[in-house]
Structure formats: structure tokens, C-alpha cells
């Protein structure tokens, strides 16, 4: 397939490379030109701008930080809706608020451009190992078209409902992930303050009912205070905002999510926004004066 790929960052770069490896003709664009050069080295093509990446594409994938970038790339001058041919499928894999996904889909319909929201979970490692979980909102027919592409990127691939539903599932994912990081951080602080070796303690937790993918993959780096991203606190702050806004929209109370959102906001305010979200440990430590 001829693909356009916009946003070649931590996640987009390895995802685009997997699509090249699966035999697709990938034209990629990122505002950081070095990212396009890396794609070219991996066998893709570095496009000059969004319109150039989209011009020949049957499917366009976007993997951008947040909704303003998705709006600019999808709806802006020289963007996907302006430059793509009728019949093109636009798959936004960024994590953004559900209402933007719905708005883009509605505006695209007039141009006969089909849209899916397909955010992912699994982090940088999941992107690099083509082991992402992909939660997809949109029509069944468009999901079926996109499925072979998703299979080159992930392992758990589920159509979860209409436009915006993928983003709601991702918001639910992010509140669970934030909560687990917060609690693992509290466990480490308690263990260390009590004179118990945290690495040993967490090894036991990982094998019992408290076990989780986060404990499995991140307990060593957390105990060793290795906080290179990964997934930045700034991005998780964005996602907690999406989760709380979705809760308001659905008229439900999510008290623990509110608390975790404040921990993440504190991490940003303390200057840790560009560290990995596991750096919530630094916030929890500082709350105890450690």
C-alpha cells in the first residue's frame, strides 16, 4: 500500500519503520527533518511537507503529540483533508480528546475521506517490538481495511465502537497506568523508608496479586532512578486532562483519577515534564521530604 505517515517521534519512527519492513511504500513527514532522514535510511521516503506525504497515499497515519497538532495536520492549510484524494483513509493513532476525533471524522466525510481513531498502548517498547495494543473507533468496514496495517504494528487489535470510542478506551487505559505508577512509587517510598530493600520487595509484589506489566517492565529502572523517556510526564498530564474531561462529559465521578492527575500535575510543576512518567516516584518522595 502507499502510505503517508505524519509524526515520526518516539512512537511514530519505529511504527513507520515496521510498515516499511512489511512491504509498504511509506512517505513520512515530521517537522524535525532529521526524523524524515531516519525513515529514508530505513527504506521509506522523506516527504517535504504534509501535502507531499499525503499526495499519493491510500492510507495516511498520524502519530502526533496532541489535538492542536492533529487539527493542524488534518484540517489546516495543506493538511490531509485539503491534500488527500477522495477515498483516502486517515488513521489518527495519537492520543487526543475524543471530540476532536469526532470533529475530524465529520469534516472528512464531506471530502469523502474516511477516518479511524486508533490510539495505542504499550509504550516505546511496544512500538519498537510491534507489540502495541490498538483500540479503534470508526466504521467496521474501515477497521477491516486498516487491520493488516495494524497487524504490522501490534498484537491486540480491537474495534471498540464508533468515532471517538478508541480515544475513550485510551483515556481509561491512561488513568489505570497513572494510578499504578503512583502506587508503585508509594510502595518504593514505604519500603526504602522502612529499611527494606525495594528491589527485593518489588520482586515479590511482581509475582503476586499486585503484579502488573508496569511492575514487570519498570520496577528495576524505577528503583535505579532511571527516568529517561519513554513516555513523558507532559504527555501523561495531557492524558489525565483527557480522562477527566471525558468523565465530565459522561457525568461520572472518578475520584482516584483526580488524585493521580494532581500527582502528575505536581511532577510537571516540579520541572519533571520531560522525564518518563515513572518519575512520579520523585513526586511521591518529595511529598515525604525524601
Dist CA 92 CA 115 (whole Å): 8
Prior bond to 189 cis, omega within 30? no
Tell me: does residue 181 bind ligand NAD (CB under 6 A). Answer: no
Q: Which of 26, 38, 39, 69 binds ligand NAD (CB under 6 A)?
A: 69
Tell me: does residue 258 bind ligand NAD (CB under 6 A). Answer: no
Given the complex with ligand NAD, which of 191 and 232 has the nearer CB atom?
A: 232
Tell me: does residue 104 bind ligand NAD (CB under 6 A). Answer: no
Q: Which of 27, 95, 257, 278 binds ligand NAD (CB under 6 A)?
A: 95
How many residues contact ligand NAD, by CB under 6 A? Answer: 27
- Quote the strand ranges of the chain, DSSP E: 2-6, 25-29, 45-46, 59-62, 89-92, 114-117, 120-121, 132-137, 154-161
Shortest distance, CB of residue 196 to ligand NAD, whole angstroms? 30
The answer to whether 243 and 175 are in contact (CB under 8 A) is yes
State the cell numbers at 121: 498502548
State the cell numbers at 270: 516540579
Given the complex with ligand NAD, which of 66 and 88 has the nearer CB atom?
A: 66
The answer to whether 40 and 13 are in contact (CB under 8 A) is no
Tell me: does residue 235 bind ligand NAD (CB under 6 A). Answer: yes
Q: Which of 44, 123, 164, 182 binds ligand NAD (CB under 6 A)?
A: 123
Q: Which of 3, 5, 8, 59 binds ligand NAD (CB under 6 A)?
A: 8
Q: Which of 5, 227, 231, 272 binds ligand NAD (CB under 6 A)?
A: 231
> Dihedral angle at the C-alpha atoms of 55, 60, 63, 67, nearest 10 degrees?
80
Q: Which of 3, 17, 19, 73 binds ligand NAD (CB under 6 A)?
A: 73
CA dihedral sign of residues 65, 147, 163, 245: negative
Tell me: does residue 63 bind ligand NAD (CB under 6 A). Answer: yes
What residues act catalytically?
A: 170
CA–CA distances in Å: residue 192 to residues 56, 137, 150, 177, 199: 57, 43, 42, 23, 10
Contact residues: ligand NAD, CB under 6 A: 6-12, 29-32, 35, 63-65, 69, 72-73, 94-95, 120-121, 123-124, 230-231, 235
Amino acid at each position: 500500500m502507499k502510505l503517508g505517515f505524519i509524526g515520526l517521534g518516539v512512537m511514530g519512527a519505529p511504527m513507520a519503520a515496521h510498515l516499511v519492513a512489511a512491504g509498504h511504500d511509506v512517505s513520512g513527514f515530521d517537522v524535525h527533518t532529521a526524523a524524515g532522514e531516519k525513515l529514508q535510511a530505513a527504506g521509506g521516503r522523506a516527504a517535504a511537507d504534509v501535502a507531499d506525504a499525503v499526495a499519493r497515499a491510500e492510507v495516511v497515519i498520524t502519530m502526533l503529540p496532541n489535538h492542536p497538532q492533529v487539527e493542524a495536520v488534518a484540517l489546516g492549510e495543506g493538511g490531509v483533508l485539503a491534500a488527500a484524494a477522495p477515498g483516502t483513509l486517515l488513521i489518527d493513532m495519537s492520543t487526543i480528546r475524543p471530540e476532536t476525533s469526532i470533529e475530524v471524522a465529520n469534516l472528512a466525510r464531506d471530502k469523502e475521506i474516511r477516518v479511524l481513531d486508533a490510539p495505542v498502548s504499550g509504550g516505546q517498547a511496544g512500538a519498537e517490538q510491534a507489540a502495541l495494543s490498538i483500540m479503534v473507533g470508526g466504521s467496521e468496514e474501515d477497521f477491516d481495511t486498516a487491520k493488516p496495517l495494524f497487524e504490522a504494528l501490534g498484537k491486540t487489535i480491537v474495534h471498540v465502537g464508533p468515532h471517538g470510542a478508541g480515544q475513550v478506551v485510551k483515556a481509561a487505559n491512561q488513568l489505570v497506568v497513572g494510578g499504578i505508577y503512583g502506587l508503585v512509587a508509594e510502595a518504593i517510598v514505604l519500603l526504602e523508608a522502612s529499611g527494606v530493600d525495594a528491589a527485593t520487595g518489588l520482586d515479590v509484589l511482581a509475582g503476586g496479586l499486585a503484579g502488573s506489566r508496569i511492575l514487570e517492565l519498570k520496577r528495576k529502572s524505577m528503583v535505579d532512578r532511571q527516568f529517561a523517556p519513554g513516555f513523558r510526564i507532559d504527555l501523561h498530564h495531557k492524558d489525565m486532562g483527557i480522562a477527566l474531561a471525558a468523565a465530565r462529559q459522561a457525568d461520572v465521578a472518578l475520584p482516584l483519577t483526580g488524585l493521580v492527575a494532581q500527582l502528575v500535575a505536581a511532577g510537571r510543576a516540579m520541572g519533571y515534564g520531560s522525564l518518563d512518567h515513572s518519575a512520579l516516584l520523585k513526586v511521591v518522595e518529595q511529598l515525604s521530604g525524601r
